[in-house]
Chains A and B, each alone.
Chain A
């Protein structure tokens, strides 16, 4: 029984964390999907890795919510790529998600006694 509950929380967490990761990565500059997936993988030292089939639908959802904005950009000699940048609404969500995560992590920490990295 407990299994279901923890799985659900886990799933929501992952989904929420994915949003947070993408919003943070496009905060300073526009990026395309492949770029985002590589950055997540390298910056987390390979701990976090996005599947291609979940990354792009997620980007689509975030854009539909108005948190990021995508634009096709063609560079000479390359195929066109879709670059995403953070919208003001996305910036607000990012700020709140950051504080939520901070609270959440702090709470976990208080309970579980995990040290900050």
Chain B
């Protein structure tokens, strides 16, 4: 037993004995005296108020005290609303993109099956129809396996021709995803067979837009790529697969030809599978290994250089590359909120100083320290929760802005919104924020012994000063880290924008044309169409030049092919040359204004009756002919009976996938000299060099097209500038957001520095008065105040620079042409911060110089 209960017990016993003696001495009977004592002991201390009552009282008190200081309350609520709102907004994106399960039944069991040829660049290749059939029929780890490929379709009849994004899919895809049609049905297995495959399922959006949500759509015939197909079903509005752009599904053809040995190497399908319940990824991987071992043995010719299948969770596949930038942004907003907390904390500290008398009075009236801390924390948590509610409102607007500004490379943006999880997150963040910024001021305020305060009239800001300065140093350090991060992104962006794409993007109009094979049955029919179109367009005054390519820069389209170089026989099959192949019409480089470094470019005379020619870019020339000119060398695309293409020109490198990408070797072949005799028409991009506004020229192109083929839709119509802008959208999005957060951080830090300097001037008015009275120069006073603020800034900046050097490494994958320790950024940002800090100190310092010594001294 500790000492004190024994001691109190002894004192109480004595007290009762004394009282008994006194009562007896006063003539009371033994029973009477005992009853009086019982009474005294029984009615002990009054019961403490229940916690609920206490909290209610605290809340009411807090509301009253906040309403008494509307300016203070408004500043705090706004700061917190912005900080918490930014967090809620970014979190709602993270929630939708990364955290929420994909919108399919038991989505965590969905995996993609990729082929791996164990060579760089071919570690994740799609599946061929034959491989898909083997996976489906021989594996045991999966409930369902499906295959699909995205494809464009021309929808004609009933209104303007339209180019649709669609997919050809195995019948198993819909049951695999747990999806059924809203009207009609999805596909049956028999519809993977020839003659049965002329059926389609429509997306809800297409059905509403194109067919006015006609309830009798099922059974109707529509024209797809010039052929009649029957609509069998419409999917619900919530169904999207493989992505939100796909509007029509058609069965894939799994006939003998597709499954033949010849087509085993044509890896065109993505394979999606659903793991059986309880089967792990590793078990499924092992199961697939035995399936691939079997089919490799059966088809040795197709898998000479090794092959295996690898599994990847669908969720990871969809959100994989988006995760890092999003998490960096979430980290950045968290830092902004921390800075906001530091500012609010500082405000509360300053207010606690002016509330010291109120607190002293409450202490004198018997409120214990725990009680006071509870009271003060109730107030800050209340403020934080109201701030959180404001933040949630701001976030719901912010989310709309974010979605509008976000690049379409971020998946699942349509699912972003404020849901239960976002609200819960905001509530937890608000509560944590309230405790975080409230605890230090509450402990400080309640720690002051009441006697001291009441005596010195409520001055003594020393304790607040120290805590406040530490908070400001922390703010400066945090905002410097954010500013450096934003600075690095801005610097990278400027670098990327200065990259020469290898062509002149201004005044270029681009669009995609997919001539249907049903109508353009031979290569010559397609050739005639393009000749007619180009002749008509070249005659128009608003068209300077026109050409076409199968894959334009920044179109997202492209592809590689193996080829043979005359006189070089690769020793191993994997040593065979394989590069990006582009099929372009005559005058393509002139239209693009890509400089020809050597030789010549293609003309319309490079046709099927002329000798076959090719053009290479400098990267390809350097790679395959490092010590000689490739002009005059010959390449072919078939090994047996090779058709040789003589290299007649070298062009400058063109950035194809993005300005920040490496220069890839490219081999160009004339459109009119097709690689294979079996080729008919191919989807092509038309590129028009306009005389003026390229978008205005679009009308000319549509007009000429309609004159040639009324049913021919165009798609993907954009200016080249817009394409390049689009390729930079993700980078711009990250940069702008981080820059916004960093500016917010800088503003808050500036306010923090200003606050502490202004507070210090108020606190030291008396001291300043004395100094001035003793003959100090006003300049000295100013230097004193500015030096105090700048010392904090320098310390904070030093900590910030050290932290930034460590932290910016996580974003090195987002940088371009700039190191994570970029000296320019690391010099410019502290200078910017220093300038802001100086202004923040200078304003209060000016006020300090205007202190009238007489007035200052009289206030004592």
Tell me the A residues contacting B by CB distance below 8 Å: 1, 4-5, 7-9, 11-16, 18-19, 32-34, 37, 51-57, 59-60, 79, 81-82, 89, 92-93, 95-97, 99-101, 104
Cα(A105)–Cα(B536), bound, Å:
101
Residue in A12, A52, A53, A92 whose beta carbon sits within 8 Å of that of B366 in the complex: A12
Cα(A1)–Cα(B54), bound, Å:
11
Please determine whether B12 and A56 come into contact, CB atoms closer than 8 angstroms: yes
In the complex, the number of residue pairs spanning A and B with C-beta atoms less than 8 Å apart equals 96
Contacting residues of chain B (1-46) with chain A, CB-CB under 8 angstroms: 4, 7-8, 11-12, 14-16, 18-19, 40-41, 43-46
> What residue of chain B has the Cβ atom nearest to residue A33's Cβ?
B11
Q: A19-B366, A93-B451, A96-B455 are in contact. Are A34 and B14 (CB under 8 A)?
A: yes
Please determine whether A51 and B40 come into contact, CB atoms closer than 8 angstroms: yes
Q: A34-B19, A93-B451, A95-B451 are in contact. Are A82 and B364 (CB under 8 A)?
A: no
Q: Does B505 contact A (CB under 8 A)?
A: no
> What residue of chain B has the Cβ atom nearest to residue A49's Cβ?
B40
Cα(A104)–Cα(B454), bound, Å:
13
Cα(A93)–Cα(B450), bound, Å:
7
Identify whether the interface residues of A are mostly helix, strand, loop, or mixed. helix
Please determine whether A60 and B8 come into contact, CB atoms closer than 8 angstroms: yes
> What residue of chain B has the Cβ atom nearest to residue A57's Cβ?
B8
Size of interface on B: residues with Cβ below 8 Å to A: 35
Residue in B15, B60, B449 whose beta carbon sits within 8 Å of that of A56 in the complex: B15
Give me 16 other A-B pairs in contact (C-beta within 8 A), A4-B49, A15-B366 excluded: A5-B57, A11-B46, A12-B362, A19-B366, A33-B11, A34-B15, A34-B18, A34-B19, A37-B15, A52-B41, A53-B12, A54-B45, A59-B11, A96-B360, A97-B450, A99-B454
A7 / chain B contacts, CB cutoff of 8 Å: 49
Cα(A55)–Cα(B40), bound, Å:
11
B11 / chain A contacts, CB cutoff of 8 Å: 32-33, 56, 59, 82
A53 / chain B contacts, CB cutoff of 8 Å: 12, 40-41, 44-45
A56 / chain B contacts, CB cutoff of 8 Å: 8, 11-12, 15
Residue in B45, B56, B449 whose beta carbon sits within 8 Å of that of A4 in the complex: B56
7 pairs from A and B in contact (CB 8 Å cutoff): A11-B49, A12-B362, A51-B41, A51-B43, A53-B41, A82-B7, A96-B455
Cα(A96)–Cα(B356), bound, Å:
14
Cα(A59)–Cα(B365), bound, Å:
16
B361 / chain A contacts, CB cutoff of 8 Å: 100, 104
Please determine whether A92 and B12 come into contact, CB atoms closer than 8 angstroms: no
State the 10 A-B residue pairs at the shortest beta-carbon distance, nearest first.
Answer: A15-B366, A16-B366, A53-B44, A16-B365, A92-B451, A96-B451, A96-B454, A12-B366, A100-B364, A12-B365
Cα(A57)–Cα(B57), bound, Å:
26
B455 / chain A contacts, CB cutoff of 8 Å: 92, 95-96
Please determine whether B15 and A60 come into contact, CB atoms closer than 8 angstroms: no
Please determine whether B364 and A97 come into contact, CB atoms closer than 8 angstroms: yes
Residue in B4, B7, B8, B45 whose beta carbon sits within 8 Å of that of A51 in the complex: B45
A5 / chain B contacts, CB cutoff of 8 Å: 57, 60
Residue in B7, B43, B57 whose beta carbon sits within 8 Å of that of A8 in the complex: B57
Residue in A13, A54, A81 whose beta carbon sits within 8 Å of that of B365 in the complex: A13
Contacting residues of chain B (36-69) with chain A, CB-CB under 8 angstroms: 40-41, 43-46, 49, 53-54, 56-57, 60
